[in-house]
Amino acid sequence: MQFQPCIIYKFGWDLIISGMWRYKKIILVGILLIGSILILTQCQQNNKTVAENTNVDFGQFAGSKSCIQCHQKICDSFTTTTHHLTSLAADLSNINGSTDSLHNSYYFSPSVYIKIEKKGDSLFQTAYSNGVKKISVPFHIVVGSGKRGQTFLFWNKNRLIQMPLTYFTETHEWTNSPGFSNSPVFNRPVTSRCLECHSTYFHKTSDTTVYPEEFSKTEIIYGVECERCHGPAAQHVTYHQQHPEQKTASYIINPGRLSRQQSLELCRLCHGGKLSKTQPSFTYKVGEPLKNYFNYEEGAPVVSETDVHGNQFGMMSASKCFINSNMTCNSCHSSHGNETGRKEIFSQRCMSCHSQQQNNFCKLKQVSENTVLKNNCIDCHMPELPSKAIMVLRQGEDIPTSAHMHTHFISVYKEIADSKLKSITAGH
């Protein structure tokens, strides 16, 4: 086997500004401006082209629009879910951040900033240094429903690059993207694993030896859609269109009939923290063992070392509720509607296992007596805690701000419960 010489890939328009200067500090430590060129080497093996999406093809998908004809009710309520909204082709209507002149910029220092600019029907992130425009890139793809935030991607030829500014919903402002250094960075490539968690399908066109990865701009299914959980469904649609008399389903997976393990693994694909993949992204098929696609350790993780972001499966699997019952994610979550914030509905689901009749109800006596508490088991037993993984740097601050997420380690949180009780008795 022969190796081709390494190809040097240049981001000609790359801009990296490194500076110790922070907005609030009075003494200027020094601004070092390097309009540097980042060089990535990319070695290609000559005669071994390994196609990424080997056993899943764009043509096997029908698209969610085609389901409406026969499953209208589910389709209607599904459009409100964060799964549906978690990635979209960007346009003016779905980018949440402000474009008005008071709130459309993020300053890394008084002379280095990024501004959100509108040209025609498109928005751009434009970097300025000492009043000089350095680089301007268009918003192409939105990632994130906006419940917590939105991150944006743009195409550079067939590569996808993450934009430097992220919209952070908790503080309603543009912030430096999580994990980015405190300077305008326009060269962070997006991986197929990122897309695998935030969409239904992206066709990767480059082989496994090429980095950054390359994707087709046309073979994309945005959002975590029907076919992500039910499998590609073109055959199901064609069959039932041709056989309207058939009332039992063909060529489709109903996760409601999977084993507990299979059902959990479907959600774990994206809600199980960092799994290292052993197969190309997008090839996992619902119902097949996740172990055939990823390497991970069996057993519940150490709770204190697990972040509330991204690993609901890990946190839940350490809980007594999970260990001592047949709990799955579907014990509390419905897949086709948006129940965000509906604490009374979730509390009902707790009470399907915990009730006074079964003698395993809440040990705190105030709860049995107070309907406000009874309708909200969540604030005390699954409180929102700060994430160490989703943190953004706000303008002028040195310490990143955390997003808050519900822990799935269901347990007794004494201090939180005490303060909840206090606020209830104080009439809040």
For residues 99-118, which are near ligand HEC according to CB under 6 A? none
* Stretch in the footprint of ligand HEC (CB under 6 A) among 40-48, 106-114, 132-140, 186-194: 186-194
Question: What is the rounded distance in angstroms from the CA atom of residue 316 to the CA atom of residue 323?
Answer: 9
Q: Which is nearer to ligand HEC, 159 or 408 (CB)?
A: 408
Q: Applying CB under 6 A, does 422 fall inside the site for ligand HEC? A: no
Q: Which is nearer to ligand HEC, 31 or 329 (CB)?
A: 329
Residues 15, 17, 56, 62: which binds ligand HEC (CB under 6 A)? 62
Among residues 143, 210, 221, 393, the one that binds ligand HEC under rule CB under 6 A: 143
Give the one residue of 176, 312, 318, 383 binding ligand HEC; rule: CB under 6 A. 312
Among 11, 83, 112, 402, binds ligand HEC (CB under 6 A): 83
- Contact between 89 and ligand HEC per CB under 6 A: no
126 binds ligand HEC (CB under 6 A): no
Q: Which of residues 45 and 255 has its CB atom nearest to ligand HEC in the complex?
A: 255
Q: Tokens 């990767």: give the residue.
A: 204
Q: Are 141 and 153 in contact (CB under 8 A)?
A: yes
CA 283 to chain centre: 19
Q: Pick from 190, 184, 187, 210: which is nearest to 202 by CA?
A: 190
Selected from 49, 209, 216, 254, the binder of ligand HEC by CB under 6 A is 254
User: 17 or 410: whose CB is closer to ligand HEC?
Assistant: 410
Provide the b/e sequence for 255-292 (b: ≥16 CB within 10 Å): beebeeebbbbbbbbbbbbebeeeebbbbbebeeebee
Query: Rounded to an integer, what distance in angstroms lies between the CA atom of residue 331 and that of residue 334?
Result: 8
Residue 141 binds ligand HEC, judged by CB under 6 A: no
Q: Segment 316-375, which members bind ligand HEC (CB under 6 A)?
A: 316, 320-321, 324-325, 327, 329-336, 340-341, 343, 346-347, 349-354, 360, 362-364, 367, 373-374
CA–CA gap between residue 212 and residue 231 (Å, rounded): 28
Distance in Å, CB of 277 to ligand HEC, minimum:
10
Distance CA 233, CA 253 (A): 9
Min separation Cβ 324 and ligand HEC, Å? 4
Sign for the CA dihedral angle at 312, 390, 307, 190 comes to: positive
C-alpha triplet 206, 211, 216: angle, nearest 5°: 35
Alpha-carbon distance of 186 to 268, in angstroms, equals 31
Residue 49 within binding range of ligand HEC, rule CB under 6 A: no
Q: Is 159 in the site for ligand HEC (CB under 6 A)?
A: no
Question: Given the structure tokens 């499998």, which residue do they identify?
Answer: 231
> Which residue reads 């996992």 in tokens?
284
Tell whether residue 220 is a contact of ligand HEC (CB under 6 A): no
Count residues binding ligand HEC (CB under 6 A).
105
The alpha-helical segments, DSSP class H, found in 8-85 are 72-78, 82-85
> Which of residues 6, 50, 70, 92 is near ligand HEC by CB under 6 A?
70
User: What are the structure tokens assigned to 134, written together?
Assistant: 């350095």
